[in-house]
């Protein structure tokens, strides 16, 4: 692993969507050798020639120092830091492809906020399966909307790892006067926050789409945080993480910004569009859709009550209607706000 006080000699960003391109652009401001991997050769060629990612982030111009390629060996070989920013549903396949090229001493950073739909696994767990347990893994998460970052609007994020020097290295690598990075050693909690908050953001989009007000959204955020924290603690996360940057911070951003893909998906559901219409009409992925399915499975497996997540699952996958889901949530049996020893 590179010394935690120094920048890596070569950094690879896997994934040329909006977030991957944003990360590559941020890192390019600091100089050094940088590669950006795109899954589609035609996209890689377009970005390499024009220096703009027209489909996902046209407002950003990448300097010539960034090499864009669809060849995994070119992108990843000799990279001291490998940052993975691909959708959760393709994460395993991409890392299986990258595995033979990632150096054993490399630090691998997951910048993906999601859970694997069928297994419910976190991205670091997938990395352990595909790369091996010996690799050093860091999770990056926080209120990080690409559309604001590229405008130079200040924000913060969290680099989380059980390996303390690696968390510090990524903190220094990505940190800047406009992007402040904190360390956190609860990687389980940070990953779960980044994934599960997207469920609440879909609910917030539905609430706004139905014309509900601040009271409704405040209740949704508060009770949504309570249920994802319940699941998180059951899965080994620290409760405090859910009240930090990766938890409350990211929830506030994604529930209130029209730049949020998950909020947009919720708003469109409220307008009567089907899940198929939403997914086929946009290039970008609303991770909360897949995460809702995975979180429901986990909640049922670990006997964790998650009424908001269950209601969204009915709307997304079981043919339920939005109005009925709201009515069901509002007429649940009365209960204490906080049970002793619970959230």
**Domain for residue 74, yes or no?**
yes
pLDDT at res. 66 = 96
With respect to residue 132, please indicate whether it lies within any of the assigned structural domains: yes
pLDDT of residue 141: 98
CA 340 from centre of chain? 31
Phi, psi of 287, deg, nearest 5: -60, -30
- Which candidate, 300, 298, 326, 301, places its Cα nearest to that of 312? 326
CB hemisphere CA count around 225 (13 angstroms): 23
Chain position carrying tokens 């539905």? 206
CATH no. for residue 65? 3.40.50.720
Q: Do residues 56 and 99 share a domain? A: yes
Indicate whether 102 and 172 sit together in one domain: yes
- The stretches in the chain having pLDDT less than 70 are 1-8, 339-343
Q: Provide the Cα torsion 281, 285, 289, 290; round to 10°.
A: 130
Same domain, 158 and 14: yes
43 inside domain: yes
Q: Which of 156, 185, 214 is the last residue of a domain?
A: 185
Q: Do 95 and 234 reside in the same domain of the chain?
A: no
| Residue 30 pLDDT | 84
Q: Do 141 and 266 belong to one domain?
A: no
Residue 124 lies in a domain: yes
Query: Which pLDDT does position 6 carry in this prediction?
Result: 52
- With vertex at residue 255, the alpha carbon angle to CA 250 and CA 260, rounded to the nearest 5 degrees, is 85
335 in a domain, yes or no? no
Catalytic residue list: 197
Burial class (CB in 10 A: 0-12, 13-18, 19+), 206: buried
Question: Is 137:110 a contact under the CB 8 Å cutoff?
Answer: yes
Domain identity same for 261 and 286: yes
Tell me: do 35 and 174 sit in the same domain.
Answer: yes
Residue that finishes a domain, picked among 166, 185, 204: 185
**What is the domain extent for residue 124?**
10-185
pLDDT value, residue 8: 65
With a CB cutoff of 8 Å and minimum separation 6, the contacts of 188 are 122, 232, 235, 236, 237, 238
What is the pTM for the complete model shown?
0.94
53 is a domain residue: yes
What spatial distance separates the first Cα and last Cα of the chain, rounded to whole Å? 39
* Residue-level pLDDT at 3: 47
Task: Give the span between the Cα atoms of 132 and 15, in whole angstroms.
Answer: 21
Residue 342 counted as domain residue: no
Cα separations in angstroms, 277 against 263, 288, 316 = 16, 16, 12
CB atoms inside a 10 Å sphere around CB 319: 8
CATH number, residue 224: 1.10.1040.10
Q: Are residues 46 and 83 in the same domain?
A: yes
Q: What is the pLDDT of residue 5?
A: 46
Over residues 219-231, the pLDDT tens digits come to 999 999 999 999 9
Q: In 10 A of CB 161, how many CB atoms?
A: 26
Phi, psi torsion values for 14, nearest 5 degrees = -100, 115
In a domain, 265, yes or no: yes
**Residues 97 and 216 both lie in one domain:** no
Asked if 63 and 93 sit in the same domain, the reply is yes
Question: Which class for 100: exposed (0-12), middle (13-18), buried (19 or more C-beta within 10 A)?
Answer: exposed
Q: Are residues 173 and 42 in the same domain?
A: yes
- Is the domain of 315 the same as that of 202? yes
Q: How far, in Å, CA of 84 to CA of 198, rounded? A: 19
- For the chain, what is the domain count? 2
Q: Give the pLDDT score at 284.
A: 81
As a whole-number percent, the residues of the chain with pLDDT over 70 amount to 96
Nearest-5° angle of CA 88, CA 194, CA 291?
Answer: 45
Token readout for 185 is 């050693």
Domain boundary among 150, 185, 220: 185
């Amino acid at each position: 692993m590179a010394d935690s006080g120094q920048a890596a000699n070569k950094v690879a960003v896997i994934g040329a969507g909006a977030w991957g391109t944003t990360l590559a652009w941020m890192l390019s401001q600091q100089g050094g050798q940088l590669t950006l991997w795109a899954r589609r050769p035609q996209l890689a060629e377009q970005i390499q020639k024009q220096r703009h990612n027209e489909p996902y982030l046209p407002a950003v111009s990448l300097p010539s120092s960034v090499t864009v390629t669809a060849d995994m060996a070119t992108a990843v070989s000799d990279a001291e830091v490998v940052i993975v920013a691909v959708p959760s549903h393709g994460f395993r396949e991409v890392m299986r492809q990258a595995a033979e090229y990632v150096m054993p001493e490399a630090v691998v950073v997951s910048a993906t906020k999601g859970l694997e739909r069928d297994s419910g696994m976190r991205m670091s767990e997938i990395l352990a399966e595909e790369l091996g347990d010996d690799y050093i893994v860091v999770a990056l998460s926080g209120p990080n909307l690409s559309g604001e970052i590229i405008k130079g609007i200040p924000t913060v994020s969290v680099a989380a790892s059980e390996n303390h020097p690696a968390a510090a290295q990524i903190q220094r690598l990505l940190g800047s006067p406009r992007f402040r990075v904190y360390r956190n050693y609860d990687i389980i909690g940070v990953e779960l926050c980044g994934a599960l908050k997207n469920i609440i953001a879909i609910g917030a989009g539905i609430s706004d789409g139905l014309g509900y007000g601040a009271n409704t959204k405040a209740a949704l955020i508060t009770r949504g945080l309570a249920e994802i924290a319940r699941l998180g603690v059951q899965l080994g996360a620290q409760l405090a993480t859910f009240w930090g940057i990766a938890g409350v911070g990211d929830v506030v951003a994604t529930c209130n910004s029209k730049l949020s893909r998950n909020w947009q998906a919720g708003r469109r559901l409220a307008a009567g569009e089907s899940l198929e219409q939403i997914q086929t009409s946009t290039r970008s992925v609303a991770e909360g859709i897949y995460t809702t399915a995975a979180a429901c499975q986990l909640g049922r497996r670990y006997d964790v009550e998650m009424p908001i997540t269950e209601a969204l699952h009915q709307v997304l996958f079981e043919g339920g209607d939005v109005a009925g889901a709201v009515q069901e949530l509002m007429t649940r049996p009365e209960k204490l706000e906080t049970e002793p020893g619970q959230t």
